[in-house]
Amino acid sequence: MTQDHSHSLAELVGQSTGPPWVGLDPVNEPMIRHWVEAMGDANPIYVDAGAALEVGLESVIAPPTMLQAWSMVGLTGTLERDSQRGQVKEIEHPNDRMMRLLDEEGFTSVVATNCEQEYLRPLKPGERIAVSSVIETISDVKKTGLGVGRFSTTRSDFYVVDDSFPEDPEGRTNAITSAEHVGTMRFRILKFAPGAQAPTMPPRPRPAITQDNEYFYEGLKAGKLLIQHCTECGTLRHPSLPGCGACGSLEWDTVESAGAGEIYSFVVVHYPQVPSFEYPLPIGLIALDEGTRIVANLDLDVDSIAIGMRVQARIDKLDDELSLPIFISAAS
């Protein structure tokens, strides 16, 4: 980290990212049709007024997941906004300031990590959507699989506005407080320094390798999550054993897991704190869809973890000798 802007960044939390803006087009049927065709969504209430009436709606509605689409300003809109901003360069909106400060900390790369949306009511053709955003959180410096960086979550609130919605930034900021709130989106990004690892963290404890479990660690190094498979009766087993508990056969090979499963149980470790790990440390017992269970790390917000949650394995190379499966939300 070249500079530490922790204090300046903390001051940005809770601030609006800039004045509210309005999408270029109102909610409209042609765009809805393009969307559902692209998504393969056959629900008739998005395109057939009769079907919508039948379920008690006044008209067709937009798919809820289009929420953000109605606020997008398109290529041209973006350019116009940027050129306007260029004319008043002395105004640095909080979002721009956050990105600049993070760049100065050396976190020059960006990746979107999560997007959560909440829909308060369906949107109908003809409605105009305005958006106001605030910086909700900026994390401490974290070590991630991508590199060291900070997470930032922006909360956007979506409103239905009419033609009287003002053009000037100040007027919009005032007018939006009385507009109808129809949805919320939390968008989380990681700004990071690519490839930079926290220098103080020692490597994780080494697994003991025998002829019985070597396939598992070699498989992970090759990017594969392997499960032992009895070639006599077909039963899968994990962790490794030389024989099959179902039939007693010593003959086996492996199958590759798709890495999909659900959280069967989990813990969050707080103490003791071993320098090779970050705490609190969430660890899951994952029931893989193939039928075996596996203990693995979870790359999930600690508060979001629940038994039954669907997860997906990602294989992380921790160092030259060790790769491990890390489970993330199947929804992300």
Query: Does 87 engage in binding with another protein (CB under 8 A)?
Result: no
Residue 69 or 324 having the CB closest to another protein? 324
- Which range binds another protein by CB under 8 A, 54-62, 65-73, 82-90, 203-211? 203-211
- Which range binds another protein by CB under 8 A, 11-19, 168-176, 189-197, 317-325? 317-325
Residue 86 or 271 having the CB closest to another protein? 271
Cβ at position 306, least distance to another protein in Å: 9
Distance between CA atoms of residues 100 and 118, nearest Å: 29
Stated length of the chain: 332
Which residues neighbour 60 within 8 Å (Cβ) at sequence distance 6 or greater? 29, 32, 45, 46, 47, 48, 49, 52, 124, 125
Cβ at position 148, least distance to another protein in Å: 19
- If residue 94 lies in a helix (H) or strand (E), which one and from where to where? helix 94-104
Which of 281, 315, 328, 330 is in the footprint of another protein by CB under 8 A? 281
Tokens of 319: 């160092």
Cβ at position 113, least distance to another protein in Å: 22
Distance between CA atoms of residues 14 and 53, nearest Å: 42
The 3 state secondary structure assigned to 34-54 is HHHHHHCCCCHHHCCHHHHHH
- Which range binds another protein by CB under 8 A, 76-84, 90-98, 192-200, 285-293? 285-293
- Total site size for another protein, rule CB under 8 A: 38
Contact track, another protein, 107-136, x by CB under 8 A: ------------------------------
- Which range binds another protein by CB under 8 A, 83-91, 181-189, 190-198, 279-287? 279-287
**Any idea what the Cα angle at residue 84 is, between residues 82 and 88, rounded to 5°?**
110
Specify the residue for token string 């903390």: 10
Query: Does 207 engage in binding with another protein (CB under 8 A)?
Result: yes
Query: Does 290 engage in binding with another protein (CB under 8 A)?
Result: no
Q: Is residue 113 packed enough to be buried (19+ CB in 10 Å), middle (13-18) or exposed (0-12)?
A: middle
Query: Does 139 engage in binding with another protein (CB under 8 A)?
Result: no
Q: Which residues pair with 297 in a beta bridge?
A: 283, 326
Distance between CA atoms of residues 80 and 331, nearest Å: 34
Cβ at position 200, least distance to another protein in Å: 16
Query: Does 327 engage in binding with another protein (CB under 8 A)?
Result: no
Contact track, another protein, 248-277, x by CB under 8 A: ----------------xxxxxxxxx-x-xx
Query: Does 322 engage in binding with another protein (CB under 8 A)?
Result: yes
The 3 state secondary structure assigned to 134-186 is EEEEECCCEECCCEEEEEEEEEEEEEEECCCCCCCHHHHHHHHHHCEEEEEEE
Q: Please give the residue ranges that form the binding site for another protein (CB under 8 A).
A: 204-210, 212-213, 238-240, 245, 264-272, 274, 276-277, 280-281, 283, 285, 292-293, 295-297, 307, 318, 322, 324
